[in-house]
Copies of this chain bind each other. A is one copy, B any other.
Amino acid sequence: MSEVRRDILTDTWVIVQTETTEIPLNHRTPRKPPSVCPFCVGNESQTPSEIFAIRAENTLPNQPGWQVRVVPNKKPVLRIEGELSRVGVGIHDKVSGIGANEVIIETPEHIKSLHTLSAKQISLVLKAYRARIIDLYKDKRFRYVMVFKDYGALAGASTIEHSHSQLIALPATPQQIKSELSGARAYFEYKERCIFCDIIANELEDRSRVILENNLFVVLAPYASRFPFELLVFPKRHAFSFEMVTAEEITNLGEVLKQIMQALYDTLSDPPYNYVLHTAPNLLPQRDYWTTIRDDFHWHLEIIPRIKRTDGFEWGSGFFINPVAPETVASKLKEKL
C-alpha cells in the first residue's frame, strides 16, 4: 500500500510506499532485466489483464494480434479502489493513495528504442494515450492524468527494456502543472492571449531555437532550458487538452517524434531520457479551479535527455545550471534532420 503525504511547508506531495522493507541500492548493484520479457507478444499472460488494446479484428483480449497494449502496472504506485479522503497526522496531512498506474506497451516485438518503431506505430501509441486519457477523465476522482516515458536507468526506467510508456491518474493536480497553469492564466488575464501561442510565434520569428517546423507541429529548444537538449513539441493549433488531438495531428506527430528521437539518439549517443505529456486537468469535477481552463493552456510534449546529473545546488535552490545553450542544441540537432 501507499500513502500520499503532503509537505506542509512547501505543499509538495509524495507517494510513500509504506510497505517496503528492502532498501534499493541500485547505485551499487545494477538491476538485471527479467529473463522472459513480459511485454513481448505471446507472453500476455505475464501481465495483468489488458485495459485497452489496438488489435486486429477477431482477436481476443490478452492474446496475440495486438499492436499496442495497455495493462495495469504490476506494482502500481497508487490503487484504483477506494474513496478519496484527507486526514491529519499530528501536524501533517495525508490523503489515501488512490489513482491508476498503467503501462502502455508500444510494440509487440522486443524493440528497445522508440525511434526504431515506424512512424505509423508511434502514431498508434499516441492514439492509445488519447483513448486512455478520455476514459480515465470519466472518473471524477481523477484530477490529472500524467503520461510519461522513462528510457534508460539514468532516467529512472525499470529493468524491462521492451519499449513502453506509463500513465498515472492522480487525485490532485500536480504542483508542476499548477505552476504552468497559473503562469499561463496570469499571462492570459493580462494579454488575453495564450502564452504558448505567443512563445511559438516569437520563436518562429527568431528561429535560433527552432529545430523542426511543419504545417502542424513545431519543435523548440526552450529559451530557459533547465537541461541540455531539453525539447518542447507544440501543436500549432491551439488546443488545451491532448483529448482534442485530431487523427491528422496524430499521424504527423508520429513522424515528428520518430525524426526527433532519432536525431537525439545520434547526437547524444543513445541518451537516457524522459518525456512527459503536458495536458489540461480533468474538466469534469467543476469545483477544481484549474478545470475552467480553456483558452489559456496549450498541450505539449516535453522531452528531457538525462545526460547531466542534477546536483545539490539545483535540488536546494530550484535554480538550474545548463552547460549547453539551447541555440547550440538547435543547430546541432538541425544538422541531423
Count of this chain's copies in the oligomeric assembly: 2
A27, B304: Cβ atoms closer than 8 Å: no
Q: Is A268 an interface residue (CB 8 A)?
A: yes
User: With contacts A21-B328, A310-B156, A323-B20 known, is A316 near B7, CB below 8 A?
Assistant: no
A337 within 8 A of B: no
| Shortest CB distance A120–B (Å) | 24
A218 at the B interface (CB under 8 A)? no
Q: Which residues of B contact A309 (CB under 8 A)?
A: 26, 153-156, 306
A100 shortest CB reach to chain B, Å: 13
Could you tell me the distance between the alpha carbons of A56 and B129 in the complex, rounded to whole angstroms?
66
User: In the complex the two chains form, what is the Cα distance from A11 to B328 in whole Å?
Assistant: 23
Indicate with 1 or 0, residue by residue over A253-297, a CB within 8 angstroms of chain B CB atoms: 000000000000001111110111010000000000000000000
- Check A148 for interface membership: any CB of B closer than 8 A: yes
Subset of 15 A-B contacts with CB under 8 Å: A9-B195, A11-B183, A16-B322, A20-B325, A27-B268, A77-B321, A89-B223, A146-B316, A150-B313, A156-B310, A168-B313, A274-B315, A275-B312, A302-B316, A306-B309
